[in-house]
Structure 1
């Protein structure tokens, strides 16, 4: 069976992740492309679509005219809710790029629409599909770390502010590094801990280095006048069972401790971190140990193994969940909790008070 897929939003994340990944899956045919800029949708069709694929600038027209099975939503955060719900109601399964939505209310509306329509909904957290993530998740599920009562979610860049698109626009995105890359680190940490019951959150977002002119930056100096989101944010989350999580996220921070989409876990039996590869640590027969996990699947000259790249593994798993009628790896209920926590950090920063969930 071949699934017909429509792409809404043909910008950077669609071209860098979604469309190349879907192109590697035999049971997928991309038959419709939509973008506010017709040229971008046309280019997407040329690069990834079937010869007869439709090209649109209005997603509502696309959903009305095209007979699709799946829709990938790759648009700014502020439009995730509207487009996802419309696609679900048009009888499509939906993968929405992270974060689930700009607000928790919007995310809950998306989840409710998925339940009412009976269609599958997942969110694009591709870091779950990395080799180290999948290994560590199995270790956690087997109970090798014991009761995981403390975690750190790392998303720290020293100077890597995205200066294109709407990344710096608070109205379109809902925030900066916290909602952009902090969301990946938090998703990984919650997934490893298998704990989706937050109790309260305390957080602080900063707009400090954003005011720097002619700043050093991976993608060229940013315009301080356009930088309306935070440049860094930090949150402390207490869960219902007493476990705690520290979340750190930055696009620009005077720190050499740089790491992105990584987690550190501390349990009663052992701990784990992704700081330098993947390391498990603990105590055995009254002696401490560190176990470095070999993540390469090759091991011989001219052969690196056959594992999919994370974005391809994500897309393949998603398509197989549809074909086999199974749950997607990233459940919308889990992504909703991520959005609730991120929103609470922003709220706590504004009020100076803890936010109870």
Structure 2
């Protein structure tokens, strides 16, 4: 590998600007190329971002033909599958923005391609870089809660519905489930070591998104703005998953882990109508347990830090490329949550419990 890690960015929407900002803070990284399917948009992006020495292309295939070590994929959901598979087959290491894909079949092919090519496919879940997420995982996996038998996670915005590609079933695949629900699932599943799901029973609706009183693109709104599901896992664990882009309520409650010896309540950081979901940091953690013959609770001291979690995500990927390390957040892991989201959508449509089957 050359002295500097050569990076390409595919897709030039708002999230791509955050990738540029993060890469610029890494002296060992060079942004070599940018691509976007809209003619001229990549060149416009390089000019706006001051990337005067960066090549611009109107297709990801042109970009992938260049001498690059890795790529950031910042395209709409519908493009994740094809762009990631092509990037892996072109020998590039891949940082893919969430969600992994539109369908489970696509996610399976992406994970399989990463295995076959020996290239890295890592997913962009920056909340994992909050040191308190690691603290949470350490507490649960230490056994202090005893056997964890029930987990409840999710979150809701009183008003927080996006538009454009996010509300098209063809382009996004799913709505709130994939957009913000994937963060909640990763937070809970990673804490539990990503157990394998066996069935899902779910309900979804879009009462707010399809109502012009609440959304300016109501006539084009095709995905769910609310969903709830009960997920069963192989190890006698159940998870209640709930998510909402809009609701007449201030919160859908905290995340909780119920164990035979103790319980743990975790709340997200942030405030305001767009907060209340697990796309950021930990706000507070409380353990509930019995001691001295009575009920008691302990506030878990949080780890203070000033980390920019998004920057940490990009840095970890770039360093993994430079050092030859495995994927920080491997696609094979996120495949499990993709299977859950797929199960949620199938169950909601069928109005019954459905099985979740994953290859070994």
TM-score, structure 2 normalization: 0.88
Would the alpha carbon gap of residues 288 and 313 (structure 1) be closer, same or farther in structure 2, given more than 3 Å must change?
A: farther
Structure 2 equivalent of residue 60 of structure 1 = 61
Q: Deviations over 1:173-203 (max 9, x none)?
A: 0011011111110111111111321010011
Would the alpha carbon gap of residues 148 and 48 (structure 1) be closer, same or farther in structure 2, given more than 3 Å must change?
A: farther
CA distance in 1, matches of 2:112, 2:144: 35
Secondary structure, in 3 states, of the residue corresponding to 2:251?
coil
Would the alpha carbon gap of residues 59 and 228 (structure 1) be closer, same or farther in structure 2, given more than 3 Å must change?
A: same
Matches within 5 A, 1:1-357: 1-15=3-17, 17-46=18-47, 51-64=52-65, 66-163=66-163, 165-215=164-214, 221-257=215-251, 263-275=255-267, 277-295=284-302, 297=304, 307-357=306-356
Tell me by how many angstroms 1:143 deviates.
2.5
Q: Deviations over 1:214-273 (max 9, x none)?
A: 32xxxxx422101111111111100011100011111111211157xx732122232222
Would the alpha carbon gap of residues 18 and 61 (structure 1) be closer, same or farther in structure 2, given more than 3 Å must change?
A: same
- Are the counterparts in 1 of residues 132 and 303 from structure 2 also a CA contact under 8 Å? no
- Are the counterparts in 2 of residues 279 and 293 from structure 1 also a CA contact under 8 Å? yes
**Which structure 2 segments of 5+ residues have no match?**
268-282
- Are the counterparts in 2 of residues 63 and 90 from structure 1 also a CA contact under 8 Å? yes
CA distance in 1, matches of 2:71, 2:332: 19
| 105-114 vs 286-295, which moves further | 286-295
- Are the counterparts in 2 of residues 188 and 263 from structure 1 also a CA contact under 8 Å? no
- Are the counterparts in 2 of residues 23 and 48 from structure 1 also a CA contact under 8 Å? no
CA distance in 2, matches of 1:78, 1:213: 26
User: Number of residue pairs matched?
Assistant: 339
Would the alpha carbon gap of residues 317 and 147 (structure 1) be closer, same or farther in structure 2, given more than 3 Å must change?
A: farther
CA distance in 2, matches of 1:69, 1:49: 22
- Are the counterparts in 2 of residues 29 and 50 from structure 1 also a CA contact under 8 Å? no
**Which structure 1 segments of 5+ residues have no match?**
216-220, 298-304
Secondary structure, in 3 states, of the residue corresponding to 1:167?
helix
TM-score, structure 1 normalization: 0.89
CA distance in 2, matches of 1:237, 1:243: 8
